[in-house]
Amino acid sequence: MKIIEWAQKMSVQVAEIDDQHKKLVEIINAAFSIENPSENRKKFEPILNDLIEFTRVHFSTEEKYFDKFNYAEKDEHIEEHLKLIDAVLKFKDGFDSGKCDCEPFLSFLRDWLAEHLLKMDQKYIECFKANGLE
Ligand SMILES: [Fe+2]
Ligand SMILES: [Fe+2]
């Protein structure tokens, strides 16, 4: 079952970034698809690692363009990215020490991503377009 679906209204009109967003959606769905993660830690762990790694790749892609184009709302945006990375690493720490409160974490992640794509990421479209990115 898909828990989150990428939708056209989430598009930031840049193929490279839309593809990364789709991949994040895919990783979250893969995590959700594991039943009883606390008993299936071996299956859950690589997905969690993928999530951490790919989130970093994605955020640094956006932030590279913020720098390049001198994006006005760069600081607020990076702040939101940092908060998410923090939350994910905190969860990972707990997971590594044997805890797995996975459901609330995944729900948080799903809501965070949907909201971020629909609001925060939409704001840079104009700037990225003005700088010729597509
Ligand atoms: Fe993004
Ligand atoms: Fe972002």
Residues 109, 76, 61, 24, Cα dihedral to 10°: 10
Q: Is residue 4 over pLDDT 90? A: yes
Q: Which single residue is written with the structure tokens 């979250």? A: 28
Task: Give 120 Cα–ligand 2 centroid separation in angstroms.
Answer: 6
Q: What is the pTM of this model?
A: 0.95
Q: How far apart are CA 86 and CA 9, in angstroms?
A: 27
Which ligand ends up closest to the CA of 16? 1
Domain ranges of the chain: 11-130
Percent of the chain with pLDDT over 90: 88
Residue 110 amino acid letter = R
Does residue 1 carry a pLDDT above 70? Answer: no
Q: How far is the CA of 118 from the centre of ligand 1 (A)?
A: 10
Query: Ligand 2 centroid to 39 CA: how many Å?
Result: 33
CB-based neighbours (< 5 A) of ligand 1, an ion? 121
Hey, what CATH topology would domain 11-130 get? Answer: Four Helix Bundle (Hemerythrin (Met), subunit A) (1.20.120)
How far is 83 from 96, CA to CA, in rounded Å?
20
Ligand 1 centre distance from Cα of residue 104 (Å): 22
99 CA to middle of ligand 2, Å? Answer: 28
pLDDT in tens, 17-75: 999 999 999 999 999 999 888 888 999 999 999 999 999 999 999 999 999 999 999 99
Angle at 17 between CA 67 and CA 29, to 5 degrees: 130
